[in-house]
Structure 1
Amino acid sequence: MNLRSSWVDETGQTREDTRLTQTGVTTPANPVQVRSGIFPGSYDGRYRLAGFWTFGSAAMSATVSEGRAIIQGDISQGAYPVTLPASEVVTFSPGHAQYSRKDLLVLKIYDRLYDTVEQNAAKIEIIQGEARQDPQPPAVPARCLPLYEVTVPAGASAGTGGIPWNSALKDLRTPVVSLGGIIPVEGPVLPGAYPGQYQDAGGALQRWDGGAWVSYPSAIGGIIPSSASATTPASYTGQYRDHNGVLQRWDGSVWRPAYPGPYYTGSNDHGYTTSTTYTPTLLETGSSPLDVEFIAPPSGAILINYGARMWATSSTPHTVVMGLRLTQAGVTKIAESDETACFYSGTTPASMSSTTRFYNLTPGLPYVITGMFKCGANTTQIRANYDNTFIVVHPQY
């Protein structure tokens, strides 16, 4: 019978039985196996992962700090807990004369049930890589947990200054926690073992949804906080996030302002027209036509505030008019009209403005509002003048 147990039989419990059935500090990898890794924690609580921290202590030697870990064997072998109660020094072989190499510093389990060895032991070892022009780290053997990748330069030795420890060490340690615990992410991001598992990704609490790690605010439909990384992905169209004080909404492709607008265009450049019919063109100005583009809001309605400093060049009061035209993809949807226009009759400049509302727009489509201008009945080429012209579109939500 394959079913294993521990602390049931009065005699006959094997070491393999104990390893297979232990339920201590383990992070599941599947229904039977656990992750290999380092138990997190530090003496002062300032660091996530202090166990087996390694630093250069001599030209060719490094010191491995104390720590605890667990190393998963094959599916039928169980998991091996190991502890280093005091730091240990390891020494690397001198570098190759011509090429550098990449060594692995590892925790290695020797079990004579599965190895051709005479003893059972847990050891800190250096697996030496091959010296070559493009060095690669060696393969990781069974029942072995990598701690660091160490680059040994060509010609490195105690007499030549040794290994440059500040740049030679690549940290490969990953943490594990007890069943159901929140994993502090260090090193590679590994997949979850079950939906509902959590990990702390440094700036966001994440939940495994069965296929990906999803930031916790996303998983519950909340607003992703500004403290989360800017690269934190959205999990559905319509999700919101606080981005530097601006509320944004995920549209399925990009983050956009949740409440865009108001949209503005304006010109402080004087222009005029002598046309007695509406025209978008003002003469003697570099800001013609006066356009503002906007995206129709979900309500399909907008408020438009518009106006200018207006006057007629005439010896008697004369009508000066500013209207609006709405287009979508170049097609006029709402034509300019005296009903929504701003009027002024006078030869002395005056600031005039008006507000109107357009509705029944298609939400999400881009529209353009253009300023339209005309002069009243004009038989003597009277000018209708405009300055400080502006249009403001306020989406209604």
Structure 2
Amino acid sequence: MNLRSSWVAETGQTREDTRLTQTPTTMINPVQVRSGILPGSYNGQWKVSGFWMTGASAMTATVSEGRAVIQGDISQGVYPVTLPAAEQVTFAAGSATYGRLDLVVLRVYDKLYDGGTRNEAVIEVIQGVPEAAPKLPAVPPRSLPLYQVLVPANASAGNGGIPWATSLTDLRTPVVAAGGIIPVEGQILPGPHPGAYIDSPNNQLQRWDGGKWVAYPEALGGIVPNSASTLQGSYVGQYRAVSDGTLQRWSGSAWAPAYPGPYFNDSIDAGYTLSTTYVNTLIERAENPMAVTFVAPSSRQAILTFGSRMELSLNSGTTGIASSAYMCVRITQGSTVVRDLDDELAAMASKSSSPTAAVSASTTQRLYNLTPGQTYTVTSYYRTSDANVRAWFDNSFIQVTPQY
């Protein structure tokens, strides 16, 4: 039988039995765990302090103490290792022509699988090949990468050595007990199972949904903070804060403004009409027609405001005519007219019999029975009450404010 156990048989428990049944850290499949370093630091300031490496001399670095697990092949089990005190590693001098990339690893030698004579765990420098574009050497079996080190050409103890501040790349990967929250710095690896959690590099809690890491709300119904605003939503209806101070809502596929609007359009270009029926084009105005589109909210209501600076002027040779200027809007949904033009709904300015100075006129109305989520278009129209009187319109505007 292939089933393995620990501390059951009176005799015959092998090292392989123990490795296959102990050390339940972060899983990568039902049998194997992820190789990695156990998190923690002396003062609680850092997520991962184990096996931290710093330069000690020109060609020597110090690897600090720590604990880790190294997964072998599926039948070999996992090897727990501990470094109780710091240890130094030494790098070979650089090539005369090119730099190289060396790899510092935790490595387990097991003669049962290696075919050699060693049974031990070591910190080892795997030396790369000097090249114009150096590559990392291959990772040996049962090894956990710790650091990538760039060794420049001609680097040596007597020639400046390795510039530690710029040559080290941290490759350490943290692991925790099965089901624990994984602290992450640097590379973010795929989740071991749906429902796994990580504390991401930006200090945002994230959950693995089976295919990607998604932001987890700070509390039930919580708002994702701006510091994590690039992440996907966790559920439809979740809110996030963005840098401009507004809220957005997750639709299931994208973030969109939580409270769209107000929708606004205006024109400061003056124009006139001599038409006694409504037209949406004004003579001498370049911006024709003036319109605004909006999306109806779930309340089915919105506040509509429109207006203009109006002035009436007589054609040459015409006197003493009473007249009025009208601005109204037509509301459509696609090709369907939802609300048509009507003088009773217009903004209006009048004069009695002689030219009058310009006046500003506007009106505010409530729109009812809109279809939530549908897009509507509001287009401005204008007319004069007398074909001999020019109705001028300037500083015209339309604003729609959805009601939530």
Q: Distance in 2 between matches of 1:221 and 1:171?
A: 36
Q: What amino acid maps onto 1:256 in structure 2?
A: A
Equivalent residue for 1:248? 248
- Percent same amino acid at aligned positions? 57
Residue 317 of structure 2 corresponds to none
The alpha-carbon distance between structure 1 residues 136 and 15, as it changes in their structure 2 partners (threshold 3 A), is same
Superposed, 1:230-245 pairs within 5 Å as 230-235=229-234, 239-244=238-243, 245=245
2:156 is the counterpart of 1:157: yes
Question: How big is the shift at 1:361?
Answer: 5.3
| Cα distance between partner residues in 2 of 1:295 and 1:327 | 12
Q: Does the 8 A contact of 1:221 with 1:239 survive in 2?
A: no
Q: Which runs of 5+ in 1 are unaligned?
A: none
Per mean C-alpha deviation after superposition, the further-off stretch among 131-140 and 169-178 is 131-140
Letter in 2 for 1:339: E
Distance 2:172 2:164 in 1: 17
- Alpha-carbon separation, structure 1, partners of 2:390 and 2:226: 57
Q: Distance in 2 between matches of 1:309 and 1:148?
A: 71
In the alignment, which of 393, 397, 402 is matched to residue 390 of structure 1?
A: 397
Aligned to 1:341: 346
Question: What pairs up with 1:261-272 in 2 under 5 angstroms?
Answer: 261-272=261-272
Q: Which moved more, 1:149-158 or 1:303-312?
A: 303-312
In the TM superposition, residue 94 of structure 1 has moved relative to its aligned partner by 0.9
Q: Normalising by structure 1, what TM-score?
A: 0.89
Say which SS state the counterpart of residue 308 (structure 1) adopts.
strand
Choose 277-286 or 259-268, whichever is displaced more. 277-286
Deviates more, 1:117-126 or 1:185-194: 185-194
Tell me, which stretches of 5 or more residues in structure 2 are unaligned? Answer: 315-319
Report how far residue 256 of structure 1 moved. 1.9
Alignment of structure 1 residues 308-387 onto 2, 5 Å:
308-313=308-313, 317-327=322-332, 334-346=339-351, 347-358=356-367, 363-378=372-387, 381-387=388-394
> How far apart are residue 246 of structure 1 and its match?
1.7
CA RMSD of aligned residues (A): 2.6
Given that residues 322 and 342 in structure 1 are in contact (C-alpha distance below 8 angstroms), is that contact kept between their aligned partners in structure 2?
A: yes
Does the Cα contact within 8 Å between 2:229 and 2:240 map onto a contact in 1?
Answer: no
Question: Does residue 36 of the first structure (1) align with residue 35 of the second (2)?
Answer: yes
User: Following the alignment from structure 1 to structure 2, what is the Cα–Cα distance between the partners of residues 317 and 136?
Assistant: 88
Equivalence for 2:189: 190
> In the TM superposition, what whole-angstrom CA distance separates every residue of 1:295-339 from its partner, at most 9, and x where no partner exists?
343455533111123332355642111111234567765443223
- Tell me whether 352-361 or 208-217 shows the greater mean CA deviation: 352-361
CA distance in 2, matches of 1:330, 1:254: 28
Equivalent pair of 2:274/2:386 in contact (CA under 8 Å): no
Q: Are the counterparts in 1 of residues 229 and 241 from structure 2 also a CA contact under 8 Å?
A: no
1:146 corresponding residue in structure 2: 145
Aligned residues: 393
The aligned residue for residue 116 of structure 1 is 115
Q: Distance in 2 between matches of 1:290 and 1:2?
A: 78
Alignment of 1:88-127 (within 5 A): 88-127=87-126
Deviation for aligned residue 1:217: 2.8
C-alpha contact (below 8 Å) 1:223/1:242 kept by paired residues: no
Normalization by structure 2: what TM-score? 0.88
Q: Secondary structure at the match of 1:114?
A: helix
Amino acid in the other structure paired with 1:351: S
Question: Cα offset for 1:50?
Answer: 0.8
SS at match of 1:7: coil
Between the aligned partners of 1:177 and 1:121, the Cα distance in structure 2 is: 24
Q: For residues 145 and 358 of structure 2, what CA distance do their matches in structure 1 show?
A: 81
Moved more, 165-174 or 349-358: 349-358
SS at match of 2:114: coil
CA 1:329–1:153 in 2, change beyond 3 Å: closer, same or farther? farther
State the Cα distance separating 1:233 from its structure 2 match: 1.4
What is the CA–CA distance in structure 1 between the aligned matches of 2:281 and 2:31, rounded to whole Å? 77
Contact 2:224 2:239 in 1 (8 A): no
Of the structure 1 ranges 195-204 and 300-309, higher mean CA displacement relative to structure 2 is found in: 300-309
Cα shift at 1:396: 3.7
